[in-house]
A and B are shown apart, each in its own frame.
Chain A
Amino acid sequence: EPEVTQTPSHQVTQMGQEVILRCVPISNHLYFYWYRQILGQKVEFLVSFYNNEISEKSEIFDDQFSVERPDGSNFTLKIRSTKLEDSAMYFCASSEFGNQPQHFGDGTRLSIL
């Protein structure tokens, strides 16, 4: 069964540094999402992406965040200047259409020192 893959599985970065989290969604899916989950807390919506543009974003997704689909397969989340509070698990998900089941990757654990 096709799956969403995320790399790296664990990223350790110094505060203030830029970080790029990478995702390869399922190939025939058209909708892409990023979520984050701070340890022990709920999964928080960050952004959705469709037709090469952001469709919806949350209050968390401020100017420090950006997403890109640089080619036909990758979907990236960039945090420009990381803060301690950015430490979390970041999940990528994709779905064939909107309001359909989303398929999640296993996440990237981001640790900011």
Chain B
Amino acid sequence: SQQGEEDPQALSIQEGENATMNCSYKTSINNLQWYRQNSGRGLVHLILIRSNEREKHSGRLRVTLDTSKKSSSLLITASRAADTASYFCATGDTGGFKTIFGAGTRLFVKA
């Protein structure tokens, strides 16, 4: 089954604008994580939100989690050209051994 599907698939904004990416999943989760990937590089962990949390902040990042709708959103405020990357949500199962990534949102921030 598919898990952690993001939308939009691609997003192009001007520097200074906010970027919102959404993620949906299908099964029960222990946590949901957001990662960033620059072209040709490994993934970098951004933020983890547990299933009993509703909102979390880290710098310019704000993540929400709605377990009743099985969805999450990542908001990047005051975007910068350096935020240009692909962003993936990933769900961790209750056992802690399996992490499933979504297809990702490609964000392009124009200077």
- Which residues of A approach B to under 8 Å, CB–CB? 4, 31, 33, 35, 41-45, 48, 50, 55-56, 58, 91, 93, 97-107
Give the docked Cα–Cα distance between A62 and B98 (Å). 16
Contact between B96 and A43, CB atoms less than 8 A apart: no
Can you list, as one digit per residue, whether each of B25-65 has a CB less than 8 Å from chain A (1) or not (0)?
00000110101010001111100100000000000000000
B74 CB to nearest chain A CB (Å): 15
Residues of chain A lying within 8 A (CB to CB) of residue B103 = 41-42
Known: A42-B88, A99-B30, A101-B33. A48 touches B98 (CB 8 A): yes
Residues of chain B lying within 8 A (CB to CB) of residue A35 = 101
Contact between A104 and B98, CB atoms less than 8 A apart: no
How big is the B interface, by class?
A: 20 to 34
For residue B100, CB closer than 8 A to chain A, the reply is: yes
Known: A43-B43, A99-B30, A102-B45. A56 touches B88 (CB 8 A): no
Residues of chain A lying within 8 A (CB to CB) of residue B92 = 98-99
15 contacts between A and B (CB under 8 A): A35-B101, A42-B101, A42-B104, A43-B37, A43-B101, A44-B101, A45-B101, A56-B95, A98-B95, A100-B48, A102-B99, A104-B43, A106-B41, A107-B41, A107-B42
